[in-house]
Amino acid sequence: MIVSSQTGPRGGTAPKLAELVSRHGVAQLSMNVELTGTAVMTVWGEVKECMNAEECTARDCVWGSWSEWSYCSRSCAGGMRTRTRHIQTVPNKHGRQCDAEIKEAVEPCNTQKCSESDCTDGAWGQWSDWAPCSVSCARGITFRKRHVNHTASDCGNFPPGKSLETRVCEVNVPCVPDRDCEFEAWDLWGPCSAHCDGTQERLRAVKRYGLGDGSWCQGALKEIRPCRPQLGDPRPEGCSVDDPVDCEMGEWTRWSSCTSGCDGGVQRRTRVVDQRASHGGRGCLAALSEVQECNRHLCHGGDQPTDCEVGQWEDWGICKGPRVHVSL
């Protein structure tokens, strides 16, 4: 809210001022007195009472107490120990904010010189049992590990050897079970294509492809045969008897690309009838479409041996506390 008021001669503003302060709760006043004694008063804001005590009560920042000192990182020749503290009470907008203070303190400890009798070498504990194999079939990796049982003193030697070992493990279960290819049953023969010297076709599909060392899918998916007459049957009445013309099949197309580069796929090829039989010639009894499996080898190279390769060592980490470096 902004209120402006002009008054008359000097001294005439006091009643107006008191009235505005009482009525509006004036927070800040600005008065400019001109040479003629005229004053200009502006109300820049308002104040109101607090709705609850929480809004008006100041809450100052309070730091918590220091924790106990940690264990010394060494038993002799100088170590370090630390202690910490945190903010216990977070201030609100009316309270005193937190001063910059130290959250973690460090001090030396056990600075006495190590004697010869204090020199002890580190020693490993017992190896753990070998972990379960990383795979449930074929070949995988297993590991075992151990920890430092006795830490070397400042003048002692680190325990030699590794903290973790790995080896190849084999599970006598094939990853892909053996399964033979299986075709669906042939459909019924279709209708004869002509009253004399016609042909019929039938189809089938692959019910399930083979797996592992099972038999591969290889065979016809579409067949053709003569009809009216069928092979060995007499010619139907009304069919002419001229020089017989035998059926001739065309060449097979190239096998198509395998549908998968690994884990098993299929290829197909087809052919057509170049010359249909007529006048009692030998009819076609052959396949028009064939399928065969391909690339059954596993995508992850399971059919070929692959040696384990270990990466480069990382840099040693910073030594903190007991003198232990981990070697994997």
If you average pLDDT over residues 111-138, what whole number do you get?
Answer: 83
Q: Single out the residue of 31, 29, 41 nearest to residue 5, CA to CA.
A: 41
- Tens of pLDDT, residue by residue over 40-58, are 455 555 556 666 666 677 8
Rg over alpha carbons for the chain, rounded to the nearest Å, is 48
Q: What DSSP letter does each residue of 264-309 carry, written as one string?
A: -EEEEEE--EEE--BTTPPPP-EEEEEEEEE--S-TT-TTS-----
- Helical segments of the chain, H only: 14-24, 53-56
pLDDT over 70 at 60, yes or no: yes
Window from 64-68, 199-203, 233-237 with minimum mean pLDDT = 233-237
If you average pLDDT over residues 282-289, what whole number do you get?
Answer: 85
Q: Single out the residue of 196, 194, 223 nearest to residue 288, CA to CA.
A: 223
> Between 320 and 113, where is the model more confident?
113
- Tens of pLDDT, residue by residue over 224-263, are 988 888 877 888 887 877 778 888 899 999 999 998 888 7
pLDDT over 50 at 14, yes or no: no
If you average pLDDT over residues 151-163, what whole number do you get?
Answer: 81
Residue 26 contacts residue 43 (beta carbons within 8 Å): yes
pLDDT band at 6 (very low <50, low <70, confident <90, very high): very low
Mean per-residue pLDDT over the chain, rounded: 76
pLDDT at 142: 92
pLDDT at 20: 45
Residue 53's Cβ-side half-sphere holds a number of Cα atoms within 13 Å equal to 0
Number of H helices, E strands in the chain: 2, 19
If you average pLDDT over residues 177-181, what whole number do you get?
Answer: 84
Rounded distance between C-alpha atoms, residue 273 and residue 194, angstroms? 15
Q: Single out the residue of 129, 172, 113, 175 nearest to residue 302, CA to CA.
A: 175
The pTM (predicted TM-score) of the whole model is 0.41
Residue 258 contacts residue 266 (beta carbons within 8 Å): yes
- Tens of pLDDT, residue by residue over 287-319, are 989 999 888 877 765 445 556 676 777 776 655
Ordered domains of the chain (ranges, CATH): 3-48 (no CATH), 58-113 (2.20.100.10), 120-171 (2.20.100.10), 182-294 (2.20.100.10)
